[in-house]
Chains A and B, each alone.
Chain A
Amino acid sequence: MRVVLGEDLTLLRDGLIRLLTAYDMEVVAAVDSGPELLRALVHHRPDVAVVDVRLPPTFTDEGLRAAIQARSALPGLPVLVLSQHVEQLYARELLSAGTGGLGYLLKDRVSDVLRFIEAVRTVAAGGNAMDPEVVSQLLARHGRDEQLGRLTAREREVLALMAEGQSNAGIAARLVVTEKAVNKHIGNIFTKLGLYPAEDANRRVLAVLTYLNA
């Protein structure tokens, strides 16, 4: 799997290269500024881009904007955005830049190496990986929502995991229940929220996020 990395802090860039390489990914380019990132993405067309939101020269959301721009040039280019803080606003902008192959994680998540690597692979395969923090912010915002209020505590947990991009099997493993039980919960959630049931993990996540982001 070919990866382009956009991270300006040497310490983290080197660590990420070492980590990704150890899990059989090839970092074809590691750049430290917005314009370079855009060039590298268009030039290398990687399987996935791992991008820090804040990059030089402006030290604003340069990385995020470069990624969104690259996706308009290369539709569907998988992008995993990393940041030291998550903002719903950024998540929404990212999701508005087309479907599939999108992730937005707190940098802290790299300490859970296996889940981080899984998230990179999920995004590369066209799936979604939303940080639980973003999801819980979304859920909190909709906490007083009437329809959401009808969900049971368990169904809310399942919804949160779906929004993070977990598959049914993944959700079952996390909640320590059978896949059949997860299926039942998901059916209930879709009915209560008035969403069309969907098997495709990506469409599912989008449906959930679209609902929550509305």
Chain B
Amino acid sequence: MADVGETVARLVRQTPRTCARGLALAAAAVGGLPLFVASLACVLLLPAGLGVVFAPKSLLAVRRQADRQRRWAREWSGVTIAAPYRPLSAKPANRLFLVFRRCRWVLGDPATWRDLLWTLVNVPVSVVLGLLPAFLLVAGTWFVVDDCGTLLDGWTNVVPSDFLLQVLFLSMLPACVIAGPWLLRLHAAAASSLLAPTRKEMAARVGQLTESRWEAVDASAAELRRIERDLHDGAQARLVAVGMNIGFAEQVVKDNPDLALTLLAEARESSGQALSELRTLVRGIHPPALAERGLDGAVRALALSLPLPVDLHIELPGRPAAPVESAAYFAVAEVLANVVKHSGANRAWVQLEYDHGRLIAIVGDNGAGGARPRAGGGLQGIERRLNAFDGTFAVTSPAGGPTQVTMELPCELSLART
């Protein structure tokens, strides 16, 4: 009995919150109507040209609403609705082409249209399911407060049909308490029917994940091979040479001190080179500055070591998880290395920020432009690295410059800045 009492108490306590959430659903649904109209208008305006710019913006706003709906379903009713959107492809393009591609990406995704349909369907669904708990609460309470006295006085005079009506009114409050959460769940289920990925989209996503996983595994194996090779031909070989020179010097020091001195000098030089190669290698594996200062500090340190001035705008309220941090760092480092090697720029800039669950890194330069990712090249390597994190990568590099590379990585930040 105690358990039942507790459950009832909990349900009663939750009732105001449930009602508020229902109201929020209804308000959001009605508030989404202008966006639906605007989106429709933009799509109809597509042939007129301007729609190319505004349709994606408006449809992405619809997408954000749908995302909020998914979040509420998860947080309020425990109904998980996965986001079904296709990733934006990362091929390079000039600005104009990027606008078109963005447009095609948004318009070509069936999930976009289901989102839009949901914006419309959501209105009646939310108005009914969302307002019902609040209505039951208000009506039930009003009945109890206003009519309770009358009811008790005239209990004996009530005719049977009235009696049933009274029972119905009286049951409104319990119905609100018990059915409220259930109504919200029903709404979440309705949302899921349009907002969740279809079977086909799931299959496509699995295919894409399989591919990006394979690329990530492949990239890390290649990385290990590179490290082994660098060690074998670099530091390890130099240390062998150091040993050989010192041993040789030991043998000839009495008979030929001049040769011994030369050998020792060479040995010292080789050992210095071995150390510097080890340092370079370590930086390539995990830069000490990244370990010590995080992405912010490591990018600052990197910028200082480059032969051209780099303007930095870094606003990160926390640190991403280590793998994301490392991927972002190496992506920025690789792009900056390309700037130094190929662009002929005399100025570069790096912008790092965090917005809506995405780490955004923009690296640009005022060089010659015309940058293209080549098969097996550095830019393609970055793309693969970022793919493993569902990140995106886009290059705008018109001939004559400027070149700008935009990378986005979905991630969470840990707020403790350590």
Instruction: List residues of A (58-90) whose CB comes within 8 Å of B's CBs.
Output: 59, 84
B210-218, B236-244, B327-335, B338-346: which lies at the interface: B236-244
Distance between Cα atoms of A79 and B90 in the complex (Å): 54
User: Who on chain B is nearest to A54 by CB?
Assistant: B232
Contact across chains for A9 and B251 when beta carbons are under 8 A apart: no
Instruction: List residues of A (102-124) whose CB comes within 8 Å of B's CBs.
Output: 107-108, 110-114, 116
Known contacts being A22-B252, A59-B229, A84-B232, is A11 close to B237, with CB within 8 Å? yes
Distance between Cα atoms of A114 and B247 in the complex (Å): 9
CB B301 to nearest CB in A, in angstroms, measures 31
Distance between Cα atoms of A114 and B252 in the complex (Å): 11
Centre residue among B245, B246, B250 by max chain A CB count within 10 A: B245
Distance between Cα atoms of A110 and B244 in the complex (Å): 5
By a CB distance below 8 angstroms, the chain B residues around A114 are 251
Instruction: List residues of B (98-132) whose CB comes within 8 Å of A's CBs.
Output: none
| A140 located at the interface, meaning its Cβ lies under 8 Å from any Cβ of chain B in the complex | no
- Given contact pairs A19-B244, A113-B247, a sample of 12 additional A-B residue pairs in the complex whose CB atoms are under 8 Å apart: A11-B237, A11-B241, A12-B237, A12-B244, A15-B248, A18-B248, A22-B252, A54-B232, A84-B236, A110-B247, A113-B250, A116-B247
Distance between Cα atoms of A11 and B251 in the complex (Å): 20
By a CB distance below 8 angstroms, the chain A residues around B244 are 12, 15-16, 19, 110-111, 113
Cross-chain pairs A/B with CB under 8 angstroms, 16 sampled: A11-B237, A11-B238, A11-B241, A12-B237, A12-B240, A12-B241, A19-B248, A22-B252, A84-B232, A84-B237, A108-B240, A111-B240, A111-B243, A111-B246, A113-B244, A114-B251
| B146 located at the interface, meaning its Cβ lies under 8 Å from any Cβ of chain A in the complex | no
Distance between Cα atoms of A54 and B246 in the complex (Å): 24
Known contacts being A12-B241, A15-B241, is A111 close to B236, with CB within 8 Å? no
Interface residues of B (CB under 8 A from A): 229, 232-233, 236-238, 240-241, 243-248, 250-252, 270
Distance between Cα atoms of A107 and B241 in the complex (Å): 9
By a CB distance below 8 angstroms, the chain B residues around A15 are 241, 244-245, 248
Contact across chains for A113 and B233 when beta carbons are under 8 A apart: no
User: Who on chain B is nearest to A111 by CB?
Assistant: B243
Instruction: List residues of A (193-208) whose CB comes within 8 Å of B's CBs.
Output: none
Distance between Cα atoms of A114 and B248 in the complex (Å): 9
Distance between Cα atoms of A12 and B240 in the complex (Å): 8
Distance between Cα atoms of A108 and B236 in the complex (Å): 10
Contact across chains for A84 and B248 when beta carbons are under 8 A apart: no
User: Who on chain A is nearest to B240 by CB?
Assistant: A107
- A84 partner, pick from B240, B247, B251, B252, beta carbons under 8 A: B240
Contact across chains for B243 and A108 when beta carbons are under 8 A apart: yes
Distance between Cα atoms of A59 and B241 in the complex (Å): 20
Contact across chains for B250 and A9 when beta carbons are under 8 A apart: no
User: Who on chain B is nearest to A84 by CB?
Assistant: B236
Q: Which 5 A-B pairs have the closest CB atoms?
A: A111-B243, A111-B247, A113-B247, A110-B244, A107-B240
Distance between Cα atoms of A19 and B238 in the complex (Å): 16
- B237 partner, pick from A9, A22, A59, beta carbons under 8 A: A9
Contact across chains for A22 and B248 when beta carbons are under 8 A apart: yes
User: Who on chain A is nearest to B242 by CB?
Assistant: A111
Mark each residue of chain A from 1 to 23: 1 if its CB lies under 8 Å from any CB of chain B, else 0. Answer: 00000000101100110110010
Distance between Cα atoms of A210 and B250 in the complex (Å): 37
